[in-house]
Amino acid sequence: MRIYIFNYIVLSFLLGMQSCKVAQKPQEVQPLSAEAMADTPVQQAAPLPELSLYRAEATRHFILKHTKLEIALDWENQYLLGRATLELEPYFYDQSHLVLDAKNFEVHQVNLLASEDSIPLEYVYDGKSLDIILDKTYQKGQPIHIRIDYTAKPNEGNPKHDQKGLYFINPTGEIPGKPRQAWTQGETDSNSRWFPTIDEPNQKSTQEMFITVDSHFTTLSNGVLVYAKSDENGTRTDYWKMDQPHAPYLFMFAVGDFHITEDEWEDLKVDYYMEPKFAKYSRAIFGHTPEMISFFSDTLNYPFPWSKYSQIVVRDFVSGAMENTSASVFMDDLNVTSRELIDYEWDDIIAHELFHQWFGDLVTCESWANLPLNESLATYGEYLWRSHKYGMDEGDYHYMMSCTLIWLKPKIKR
C-alpha cells in the first residue's frame, strides 16, 4: 500500500520558508547565581512506559485452510448480508473453542457442518470476537467446518475512517454524477469487519466468493471469475475462486459500474477496471503493466505467481492503492485523461502494487511489526522499474526524491 504526496513540492516550500527567515540579534541572558540555582525546584520527568521492541506474530491455535463467502449488499442501510463457511484444523494442541475476529456483526446462527448434518453450536459474542464452543475436542489433523450466518455493519461501532473494511460510495444514488460503488480495504485487520476470520497475516487460506448484485453492476474479487449466474429477481451472482492460499487481509471485492479493458501477459489475463467515461484512457494509464510483469518475473527469476492480475480505480479510496492478491485497488486520482497524463504518469504506484504481488502477497510477513519489509521492497520495485524503463538517471532521481525528509519517518509509531 502506498500514500503518494508531492514531496518535492512540500520540501521546496519548507526550504523556501527557512531561507526567508530574518536573522535576529540574540538577546543577552544573564547567568543565574549559585543561590538562585539552589532555590530553583527541579521537576522530575514522568517515567516512560516500558514497551517491548519485539512484536511477535499472533499465536496460532488453528490453521485456516479455506474460506467460502456468500454475500449480498444492503445499500440503503450500508450492511453486508453474509454467510461464511470456514474450514480449519487445530495447529498443534487440542482445541475445544474457536475464536474468530468479527467486528460489529449481528450474528444470526453458527453451525457445525458434519457430513450432511448441520449442528447448531453455542457461542459468545462481544462485538469484536466470536467465541464458538465446539461440539467436542479436536486434535491436530482433524478438519472442522463452521458455517456462520451474519449481517456486517461496517459503519457502526465508531471505527476510524480508514478501518471500516467495507465502504459504500453514494449508496442511495443521491449525489448526481457520482457513481454507486462498494469496495473493501483490509490492511491491516479491517477485513474482519465484513467477514468472520482469523484476521492475522500469519494465516493463509484458499477462497471462494459468491457476490449477489443488481444485474447492471460489475464485480471484481481475488482469483478468477468461474461464472456469472442470472437470478430470477433481477440480480446476478458472480462466483470468484482463488485456489492459492493468501492472507485474510488481502481478500477483496468491488462492486460498481465499471468498464473492463482486457489486456494480457503471455497466457495471463490482465484487466483494467475503470468508470466508463475514463475507460478509453485505461491503456494510457495502465498499459505498461504487461511489460512490468515480464520485467519483474525475469528480474526475480520467479514468474508472476497468481492466476490473473486486475487493477481497479474506485472513488474515495482511503489510501493511495492496495495490493490485494491478483486485484489491486487504486485511488481515483488515476481517473485521468490523456491530456493530464502529459503532466504526470502513474508508473510508480502501478509498479509498487505489482511488486507487492511477490513481496507482501506471495511472501507475507508473519507479524505487522515486519510491515516495513513489505513497503520497502515494493518501493524498491519502483526504482527497479524506473531504472529499467527510463534509465539509471531516472531511477536514481526517483530514489533521491523518495529519501527526502518528507519520507524519513517511522512506518510504525510506538
Domain definitions of the chain by residue range: 60-170+177-256, 258-414
Mean pLDDT throughout 364-377? 94
The pLDDT score that the predictor gives to residue 5 is 46
Answer yes or no: are the C-beta atoms of 205 and 146 closer than 8 Å.
Answer: no
How does residue 309 score in pLDDT terms, banded at 50, 70 and 90? very high
Please name every residue paired with 269 in a beta bridge, in sequence order, or none if there are none.
264, 308
**pLDDT(145) > 60:** yes
Q: What does the alpha-carbon distance between residue 325 and residue 70 come to, in Å, rounded to a whole number? A: 19
258-414, what's its fold? Answer: Neutral Protease; domain 2 (1.10.390)
CATH number of 60-170+177-256: 2.60.40.1730
Average pLDDT over residues 149-163: 95
Virtual torsion, Cα 78, 271, 210, 199, nearest 10 deg: -70
Q: What is the pLDDT of residues 74-129, one digit of tens each?
A: 999 999 999 999 999 999 999 999 999 999 999 999 999 998 889 999 999 999 99
Question: Does 219 sit behind a cis peptide bond, omega within 30 degrees of 0 on the bond before it?
Answer: no
CA distance 169 to 204: 29
Contacts (Cβ under 8 Å, ≥6 apart) of 36:
none
Neighbours of 272 (CB within 10 A): 26
DSSP 384-413: HHHHHHH-HHHHHHHHHHHTSGGG-S-SS-
pLDDT for position 23 = 47
From the list 90, 96, 159, 97, the residue with the least C-alpha distance to 127 is 159
Going 4 to 6 to 8 to 13, the CA torsion angle's sign is negative
Task: List, in sequence order, every beta strand (DSSP E) within 48-198.
Answer: 62-74, 79-90, 95-101, 105-114, 117-120, 123-125, 129-138, 144-152, 166-169, 181-184
Model confidence at 22, in pLDDT bands (50, 70, 90)?
Answer: very low
CA atoms within 13 A on the CB side of 375: 18
Do the beta carbons of residue 293 and residue 287 sit within 8 Å? Answer: no
CA distance 410 to 153: 33
Give the number of other Cβ atoms within 10 Å of residue 401's Cβ. Answer: 15
User: Grid cell 519520507 — which residue?
Assistant: 407
